[in-house]
A and B are shown apart, each in its own frame.
Chain A
């Protein structure tokens, strides 16, 4: 994971909000390295990435943020299924929007929902970063771990 890639995911996240909630920019915390036990919030959605870079991305969100996101996506129903769906869809958009910047060699899986135990059982690349997304009084975490081609070759 390089600095440029971190910046890219920051930009994608900012672009998402600036499109759907232009008056309400999120505050992105400084990304930090995933260390020890992962923080897991109410809903977690995981996307596998293959191509020039291998790895994964997951988004873990508290219910209040997902409720707000449903609001800006125009969805009136707030229930277990729509909250989970929102989390999955956002992880899908954030992963998908990176594909052009990674040269198009970028295949993403269908998002999977994960339970707390499953998140801690994940095998993440050594350099996995956590980027806090603070928006409308709650905080989600976007976790991205990619393996660089050079690391793989070695």
Chain B
């Protein structure tokens, strides 16, 4: 399985990548805005995506919609500083599978990625 990490912050991308311990994840791609994320997704078709919301060019909510229109079965986890329930439900109605609020610990992201991978496996079968 492949993972696409989308966040406009370099250190957040690094931090999420450090959390990847799942042996099933073979490649990690990185994008720093929504537009780049959609392009990367169309090209590499990763099964897993972590998505920031507040980003330049194309924001996370729009990126989720576009990715889901490319691949309705993609597993997307939002990792954002926005903690409002309304925003979270909006992201989920557009096709996200879960929502994690920043700041996060590496353990939280590690466990969330495990859940996300398990979810993707279930869909594939």
Contacts and interface: CB of A to CB of B under 8 A. Distances in A.
The answer on direct contact between A and B (beta carbons under 8 Å) is: yes
Interface of A: 16, 19-20, 70, 73-75, 77, 81-82, 85-86, 88-89, 92-97, 99-100, 102-104, 106, 108-110
B71 interface: no
Contacts of B106: 74
Interface of B: 8-12, 14-15, 18, 54-56, 80-87, 101-103, 105-106
A82 B9 CA distance: 9
A100 B84 contact: yes
Given A20-B103, A20-B105, A73 B84 contact: no
13 contacts: A19-B105, A74-B14, A74-B106, A89-B12, A93-B102, A93-B103, A97-B83, A99-B82, A99-B83, A99-B87, A104-B84, A104-B86, A104-B87
Given A20-B105, A85-B9, A96-B102, A109 B84 contact: no
Given A19-B105, A93-B103, A85 B10 contact: yes
Given A89-B12, A106-B84, A74 B18 contact: yes
A108 B18 CA distance: 27
Given A20-B105, A93-B103, A97-B101, A75 B14 contact: yes
